[in-house]
Structure 1
Amino acid sequence: MTEEINISRIISNLAEDDEGALEELFNFYYPRLFSFSKSFFKIEDGIDDIIQEVFIKIWRNRKKINSASTFNSFIFTITKNLLLNELRSRLNNENAREKIRNLSIAQEYSSIADIEYDELKTKVDEIIDKLPERQKEVFVLSRAEGLSHKEIAEKLGIKTKTVEYHITQAAGLIKSKLKELGMISLLYFYLFF
């Protein structure tokens, strides 16, 4: 396959239920998404399942995709959100926690073994619960449900810029609160900011 593909044509074909267009996207994006995912996890376990879910989401939403210029960021946002969901799930599993500790993203995270992941999750959930209602709603749709900014804006009937504002404000508050608790380095494992 050539290095470049015609995203506009593929999006148009996807909207017409052309499975070949999905296969074309898969062949082009799979190596990039795999590399991105591996750099996130540092392990290969489960990456193929996550990438498969990315393309399932694209197929399910094929009639809503209308911008070739933002498709690249769209597919990587879906991937990132699914990776975050998987990471949260793995952090609830003792064996996976140990693997993540041993293969931490940066040396500075080596102290993670001394901190309980459940405590971090509880703290983050408490902070999220105290966010203003709309900010909380937007943040949860973004992080927990993996919706794009555009999808959230459409679902809530607000502007994309408003969605971005709420997510930025929520992320800043969570970061600030975790910093006060001395847990800031773990924030990257939980939310990938």
Structure 2
Amino acid sequence: MATQIRSGDEQAFEVLFKRHYAGMCGYAFRYVEDNAQAEEVVQDVFLNFWEKRLTLEITGSIEAYLYRSVRNACLNHIKHTKVKLRYAESQVMSLSETDNQVSDKVVELELREKIDICVDQLPPERKRIFKLSREEGLKYKEIAGQLGLSVKTVEAQMGKALKFLRENLMEYLPVLAILVQVSILVKEWLIKYF
């Protein structure tokens, strides 16, 4: 199979993908503890494997190589997340020293504007699913029925939407930490968007 994939045989690659995708997602989930993130890691591993198939030197089985790649990608993701959290915590510390200089209302408005901008950047179907869930309070099954989609598709789209919002609102984490103590409105936003 390795020779077939190396020569660009897409059917052989698809067989490999279908054979190992679910198991690799379960394996990745043990590390990242998030289904959407686990799937993204596995998809990235397969994409990277396909793109570098001509230059890869695999000793042992392809399966072992792929699982090692998933483990390494998960560990890199965890490390990157910890770095971002440490940065956010340091920002909270520096903000707590100067929080008297910041107007809470202005920051709330800025945060709301940033959230609205992020939501507007979502692809149309994902945006519709997100709004039905977070603004109208529909359950995934209700959204799936209303839009004629599978519940799994709704879950996947919500996972991607929330991941996008978390990544794009990371810089506001320190501000959120301070505002949670003073604003019911911000608490409502956190429940909706995180």
**Which category of TM-score, normalised to the shorter sequence, fits these structures?**
0.3 to 0.5
Query: How does the TM-score come out when normalised to structure 1?
Result: 0.40
User: Greater share of helix residues, 1 or 2?
Assistant: 2
Query: How does the TM-score come out when normalised to structure 2?
Result: 0.40
Is the radius of gyration larger for structure 1 or structure 2?
A: 2
